[in-house]
Amino acid sequence: MTEPLMPAWLVIPAAVALMLAVGRHVLSIPAQGLSPSTRRIRTAAGLVMLALAPSLAFGLSVTDAQQPKTFVISWMITLGLTLIVLILAMLDMANNLRLLVVYQQEARRQAQAALFESVLGRVRTRARNTTRRHQPANDEA
């Protein structure tokens, strides 16, 4: 009889601690002031990680080579969930780059508007000063 890859007394508590940490993180996401798209992506990644922890613990500490079907299925599920987490991480990165471009464009628009208002204010001030200098004085009549 073969043994599992790691002892259950080591793997199960680590998986529970990981699930508690990930669960706490997922519950704190709404309070972080993130954009809605980032919040959705990170919540999805956290929920997949919550499923990944027990799957990994099962594959490491419960199954062994004597149960080939269970062993292969548990590791296929673990690898599939890991792939989904990686895809969500790449999606989060791409979303952050998209948001960066949007924020930069908005900052550029605001800076241009502020510059335009500043220049327009100076032009108006000079126009007023110029018209005052060229108006005939009413006292000469």
Cα 111 to the chain's mean position, in Å? 26
* pLDDT tier, 137 (very low <50, low <70, confident <90, very high otherwise): low
For 68-112, what is each residue's pLDDT tens digit? 999 999 999 999 999 999 999 999 999 999 999 999 999 999 999
Domain range list for the chain = 8-99
Cα 126–chain centre separation = 49
pLDDT, one tens digit per residue, over 23-78 is: 999 999 999 999 999 999 999 999 999 999 999 999 999 998 888 999 999 999 99
